Amino acid sequence: MNSMRNETTILITGLHRTVDNGEFLLLIGLVRGLEREFSDHKFRIYLLCDYGRVDEIRIKKALLNCNNIEVKVIYPLGTQYILPILRIALYIPLILKSHIVIHLGADGFSDEAAGGPLSTIYHGLQILIAHFLRRPVILLSATIGPFKTSNTRSYALFILKRVSGLTIRQGSSELYLKELGLRNFIPVADLAFLISNSKSAVAPTKGKSSFYERPLASIVVNKHIYNRFPKYIDAMALVVDRLCDKGFNVLIIPQIIHGKYDEIPIARAIQRKTVHKNNIEIAENICPSDMIELFHRSEIVVSSKYHSSIISFLTLTPTITLNYHPKVRDLHEMLDVSDCLVEITRDYSAFLAELLEKIETVLNKKGVIRNKIENNLSMCIVRSIKNIKLIHNWLYPQTRSCTVA
């Protein structure tokens, strides 16, 4: 690329909605990282979204005061109803308008994603079409693998050999890549760690409503866990009641708030099962800046979501996380808080006993846990910045001595 260019157009692939606050955090982290690294450079970012005006409003709210970066939301009528494989065609004109494609596919490049092997194929096609149109593709904060068949392994290898850069956020991805014979990748921390630089990431004012006059605890729910573990709702309801018994008001937070994977019904089902309904609220129309504020207010967070745990850690809030994916353990090991993980087991009684015991332990050791998080958080942010350094090295190839490994 010509290093004299002072404006770059980026197409984001792999991310199609902001109603999943986890995926949305990847975009916000990317934008805040670019804003920090390239104060004199302008970026135009194209994002093809499923929910149109809803996505556009949420992006504008999240990215206020962002002077050198414009995010342009593209939402052809009926995008959310188009088969994923056909949506690829919508990318072609956007790829041709862009200088570079950044793939924020999160967990999608894996046969264990929600779509199974079709997810691997779909994410691979987004990368492949950009390659055929002669645009560089960088995968950031990716989870790669596992691949369950020899066909998807061969397909993944074919795709990944053609990317211009790859960062991965967990150790298991490194193992899968090495099994494929690939070594040209950079271990990083998730892009969401860069939202700590957002102007919205500040401690909130107190006393906005009577609900917040009592100590607050937050519970983040996960539909995927419920689908695998039917007693999940019963367990979370008991956790909510236990926290209410201890004098907390409890906020139940769905990370995904619309569409096929909407977690608001899970939050409502938990509330219906509780005894202390007057001490419970559901945060239904929530965005990442709201989550930052609410976690600042909270004395404890019980999280069933990876990205919600990252936000909670950024606010130094003691957090218990259900270990539903290898990336969750990697996250806690980075921050030296693995003792705050709870394993999901088929033995409901053992799972519930461990979860309630961890709540007691965390409440009794809040100061110790906060210190551990604070001592390791800056290292996670430095590792996350490596994602942005990779883009820097693509923009300014003459400065590739800028170390990212």
- pLDDT tens digits for range 266-310: 999 999 999 999 999 999 989 999 999 999 999 999 999 999 999
pLDDT for residue 400: 54
Q: Which has the closest alpha carbon to 234: 221, 249, 244, 248?
A: 221
pLDDT recorded at residue 287 = 93
Q: Give the residue from 192, 226, 405 showing the smallest Cα distance to 313.
A: 192
7-198+381-399 CATH? 3.40.50.2000
Task: Please report the pLDDT score of residue 375 as a whole number.
Answer: 97
Band (pLDDT 50/70/90 cuts) for residue 201 is very low
Q: Which residue has the higher pLDDT, 206 or 364?
A: 364
- Do the two domains 7-198+381-399 and 210-378 of this chain adopt the same fold? yes
Band the pLDDT of 199: cuts 50, 70, 90: very low
Average pLDDT, the chain: 90
The string over 232-267, giving b where at least 16 C-beta atoms fall within 10 Å of a residue's C-beta and e elsewhere, is bbebbbbbbbbbbeeebbbbbbbbbbbeebebbebb
pLDDT above 70 covers a percentage of the chain that reads: 91
Instruction: Note the pLDDT tens digit of each residue in 69-109.
Output: 999 999 876 666 566 667 788 899 999 999 999 999 989 99
Whether pTM exceeds 0.75: yes
Contact 153, 120 (CB under 8 A): no
Q: Where are the domains of the chain?
A: 7-198+381-399, 210-378
Q: Is pLDDT above 60 for 203?
A: no
C-alpha span between 141 and 185 (Å, rounded)? 11
Residue with tokens 């949305």: 24
Contacts of 158 (CB under 8 A, 6+ apart): none
222-277 pLDDT, tens digit each: 999 999 998 999 999 999 999 999 999 999 999 999 888 999 999 999 999 999 99
pLDDT number for residue 4: 47
Place of tokens 């990368």: 127
7-66 pLDDT per residue, tens: 999 999 999 899 999 999 999 999 999 999 998 899 999 999 988 889 999 999 898 878
Q: What is the average pLDDT across 333-345? A: 95
Say how far apart CA 240 and CA 324 lie, in whole Å. Answer: 20
Which residue, 234, 227, 226, is CA-closest to 355? 234
Which architecture characterizes domain 210-378 according to CATH? 3-Layer(aba) Sandwich (3.40)
Among 352, 274, 287, CA closest to 320: 352
